[in-house]
Amino acid sequence: MKLKLLFLILFYLALHAYASAQMNTSGRMELVFVDAQNGSQGEPSQNIPNKGYPGFIWQLRLYLDMPVSERSTIFSDLRLRSDGLNVDFAAIRLYLNAAKTIVLQAGVLGTPIGNVTARRSSKFNPLIHLPIMYDYRTSLPARPIADEAEFLANRGTGSGLRILNLGVYSPGVELRGTLAEVFDFSFALFNSAPSSLKWKNETERLNFTQRIGVRPLLGLNIGFSISNGPYLGQEIIAMLPPEKDLSSYLQTLYDFDFSFERGHLSIFAEGVINKWENPVHPDALKVSAYYLETKYKFLPHYFAALRIGHLLFEKIDFQNSKSVRWDDNIQRFEIGLGYYVARETLAKLVYQKNNTSRIDIKDDYIAVQLSSGF
């Protein structure tokens, strides 16, 4: 009901803005046909697209940008899918200087961590899924579990949290800007941590995130991000020791990002060191991840893309077993071919291969995507 009400309000604003010629609108329709392996027997994984059944997945993205004054705008990014309406961005942007290089944003915002948020649309993502640390679900649960044995049994099932949950959108406030056309900065407070499944805060703390970037050469962008804050919700309280509360368990993340774009070549990369303090085990659960992505436009209408990524989980000591990795290491290989049917219409063919350290989850897929913007 709340989402329907929000959609009606935005629709009314759009009509009003069209009448006064103030709102900039655009959008993109995306349709994907995916055919994935259906998983190994006895080891179902929630990381398998569409549960392994061949089928079509669609979404419509709507972008709205309405100037309120010379120093402020309202902007939003909405995604309409078969499972409902998702609000990625819906915020107020205030320009704090005449050059508009220092900005204060408040509302539902995307994380400043890394370089994926601005490239999430199919127009800018040369493949289909997001890089592995944004997309792959680990075994760390966001729900109560019985004991360490159940936790270990969840390895490879994709039943838990992502390191960065699908691009990470959350209500909050952000101060960001550019200095001397070379240095970028962002300082933000959000309701939830990057891995959280919730928008609302259910603890005594907020999540703090910052990114510092530098652009020393044309087309080169290097950044370093830090994030720290609680990530669990009220449903986990039954597992907590009496002396602990949800604010006692934090996600701490360090991220390094790199991008280089020159001519027909684009290169993007990220490295992450992440740890979750948790009620399952006295030691923090640590995981490192990286991806390297390249795209090359080899003909006027064609490009090829390649991405490799890896999740590396640390070993910890459990009471009833020797030192083991708390989840299965996974290496992902993705290759794609893109064809520009028209300026705003793009077709892609993508193959994704996943190699898991302990068992073969059988979650590879091949997919075709067609998207068009307006």
| DSSP strand pairing (84-95 vs 365-373) | unpaired
Q: Is residue 75 part of a domain?
A: no
Q: Is residue 61 part of a domain?
A: no
Q: Which of 125-139, 147-161, 225-239 has the lowest mean pLDDT?
A: 147-161
DSSP 173-201: EEEEEEETTTEEEEEEEESS-TT-S-SS-
Q: Is residue 159 part of a domain?
A: yes
Q: Is residue 55 part of a domain?
A: no
Encode pLDDT of 161-213 as tens digits: 999 998 788 999 999 999 999 999 999 999 999 999 888 888 889 999 999 99
- 272 CB-contact burial (10 Å; exposed 0-12 / middle 13-18 / buried 19+): buried
pLDDT of res. 148 = 76
pTM exceeds 0.95, yes or no: no
Q: Is the pLDDT of residue 104 over 70?
A: yes
Q: Is residue 54 part of a domain?
A: no
Question: What is the pLDDT of the chain when averaged over all its residues?
Answer: 88
User: Over the Cα atoms of the chain, what is R_g?
Assistant: 21
Residue scoring higher pLDDT (320 or 36): 36
Q: Which of 42-51, 225-234, 247-256 has the lowest mean pLDDT?
A: 42-51
Q: Which residues constitute the domain of residue 261?
A: 88-373
User: Taking a C-beta distance cutoff of 8 angstroms, is the pair 308, 294 a contact?
Assistant: no
pLDDT of res. 10 = 60
CATH number at residue 121: 2.40.160.10
Q: How crowded is residue 131: how many other Cβ atoms within 10 Å of its Cβ?
A: 28
Encode pLDDT of 199-245 as tens digits: 888 888 999 999 999 999 999 999 999 999 999 888 888 778 888 88
pLDDT band of 19, cuts 50, 70, 90: very low
Q: Is residue 44 part of a domain?
A: no
Q: Is the pLDDT of residue 18 over 60?
A: no
Q: Is residue 48 part of a domain?
A: no
Using CA atoms, how far residue 136 sits from 3, 129, 160, 167, 230, in Å, is 27, 10, 9, 12, 20
Q: Is residue 57 part of a domain?
A: no
pLDDT of res. 53 = 83
Tally of domains within the chain: 1
Rounded to the nearest angstrom, the gap between the alpha carbon of residue 241 and the centroid of all alpha carbons in its chain is: 31
User: Taking a C-beta distance cutoff of 8 angstroms, is the pair 217, 141 a contact?
Assistant: no
